[in-house]
């Protein structure tokens, strides 16, 4: 179990993390979300022991995570961290990079392990390619595989799929997160992409203004978003009579007291996102068909 208790951290005078606490059980998947600059990367680095914190404690079971003041080498062997900027050996092959921390005393096992990891990150065909010539997304996958190589108990991932194109992203995400669940590797993923969270995370921590704004299951936060920030993470939403209403909760009806004038239709694949005026405000709703500009329609909130 990871126990983070009342931690405070600042790089200089201004606090970046204020009174952050949460608990994560072994094998659970936690997402840390928040706007750019909200402190997600800082929190991961603090958990990894990269910085000394001003206050608070971090424990993994009975092992305390301490900063560089108390540790000659940053990090602990039960934990791995994949930074937003990954640091690989550019002039050696993908295979060698992934196997970097594996013992050479068991060459067969090492080979098998690397092959397994190449499959998880879908890079089998690139095993002999030099890292230098890989794309940003491919490098990110090598960094991921290398972090997994020695089977950490806990894995910290900073926007792990941010460099990976949409063609690959979906299957890669499924592979990696399935692998982590199977091996019961506790993971903490910093992200601003809801696709990294929904369907995978057991719990979420929302960072805002240097603090935890909410912490709950994705399901509870989606169904009961207490603040606009939380709602905006999940999708387009409106504030109607001080209530948060997602775009997909508004439907066209024959008549209602919500009369809007269409402004724009955006093709979204399986639906159109319609932007409309409700008096002086903009509202967004989903519709199967494109609507004409200036068309007037009535909306109803469905839940």
- Positions in the binding site for Mg ion (CB under 5 A): 40-41
Tell me the CA distances in angstroms from 23 to 30, 83, 135, 174, one per residue in order: 10, 22, 36, 25
CB 168, min distance to ligand ADP, A:
23
- Residue 107 partner contact from ligand ADP, Mg ion, none using kind-dependent CB cut-offs of 5 to 8 Å: none
Contact 204, 218 (CB under 8 A): yes
Mask 223-242, x = binds ligand ADP (CB under 6 A)? --------------------
* Shorter beta-carbon distance to ligand ADP: residue 189 or 283: 189
- In terms of CB distance, is 37 or 68 closer to ligand ADP? 37
Q: Are 162 and 140 in contact (CB under 8 A)?
A: yes
Give least dist CB 20 to ligand ADP, A.
Answer: 12
- Closest alpha carbon to 4 in 53, 78, 41, 59: 59
In the list ligand ADP, Mg ion, none, the entry touching 270 (Cβ below 5 to 8 angstroms by class) is none
Report the partner that residue 36 touches, choosing among Mg ion, ligand ADP, none (CB closer than 5 to 8 A by kind): ligand ADP
d(CA 146, CA 100): 7
Q: Which does 186 bind (CB under 5 to 8 A by kind): Mg ion, ligand ADP, none?
A: none
* Residue 285 to residue 274: CA distance in whole angstroms: 5
Per CB under 6 A, 191 contacts ligand ADP: no
Compose the 24-53 pattern: x for residues touching ligand ADP by CB under 6 A, - for all others.
----------x-xxxxxxx-----------
- Dihedral, CA atoms, 234, 238, 244, 249, nearest 10 degrees? -80
Whichever of 22 and 271 has its CB closer to ligand ADP, that residue is: 22
DSSP track, 183-221: TT-EEEEEES-GGGTTTT-SEEEEEETTEEEEEE-HHHH
Rounded to 5 degrees, what are φ and ψ at 247?
A: -55, -35
Distances (CA, A) of 233 to 38, 162, 191: 14, 16, 10
CB of 38 to ligand ADP, least distance (A): 4
Minimal distance, residue 155 CB to Mg ion, in Å: 16
Binders of ligand ADP among residues 6 to 25 (CB under 6 A) are: 11, 16
Q: In degrees rounded to 5, what are phi and psi of residue 194?
A: -65, -25
Instruction: Report residue 229 as tokens.
Output: 């920030």
Shortest distance, position 7 Cβ to Mg ion, whole Å: 17
Binding residues for ligand ADP (CB under 6 A): 11, 16, 34, 36-42
């Amino acid at each position: 179990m990871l126990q983070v208790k009342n931690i405070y951290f600042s790089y200089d005078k201004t606090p970046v993390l204020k009174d952050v606490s949460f608990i994560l059980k072994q094998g659970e998947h936690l997402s840390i979300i928040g706007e750019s600059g909200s402190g997600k990367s800082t929190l991961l680095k603090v958990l990894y022991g990269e910085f000394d914190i001003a206050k608070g404690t971090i424990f993994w079971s009975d092992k305390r995570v301490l900063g560089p003041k108390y540790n000659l080498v940053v990090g602990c062997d039960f934990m791995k961290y994949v930074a937003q900027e990954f640091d690989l050996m550019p002039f050696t092959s993908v295979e060698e990079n992934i196997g970097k921390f594996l013992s050479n005393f068991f060459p067969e096992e090492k080979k098998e392990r690397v092959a397994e990891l190449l499959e998880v990150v879908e890079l089998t065909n690139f095993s002999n390619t030099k890292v230098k010539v890989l794309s940003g997304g491919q490098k990110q996958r090598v960094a991921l595989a290398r972090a997994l190589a020695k089977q950490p108990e806990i894995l910290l991932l900073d926007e792990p799929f941010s460099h990976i194109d949409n063609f690959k992203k979906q299957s890669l995400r499924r592979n990696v997160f399935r692998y982590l669940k199977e091996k019961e590797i506790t993971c903490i993923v910093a992200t601003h992409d809801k696709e990294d969270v929904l369907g995978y995370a057991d719990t979420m921590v929302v960072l805002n203004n240097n603090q935890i704004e909410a912490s709950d299951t994705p399901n509870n936060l989606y169904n009961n978003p207490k603040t606009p920030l939380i709602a905006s993470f999940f999708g387009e939403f409106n504030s109607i009579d001080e209530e948060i209403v997602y775009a997909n909760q508004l439907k066209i009806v024959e008549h209602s007291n919500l009369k809007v004038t269409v402004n724009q239709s955006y093709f979204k694949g399986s639906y159109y996102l319609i932007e409309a005026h409700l008096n002086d405000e903009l509202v967004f709703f989903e519709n199967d068909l494109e609507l004409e500009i200036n068309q007037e329609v009535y909306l109803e909130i469905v839940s």
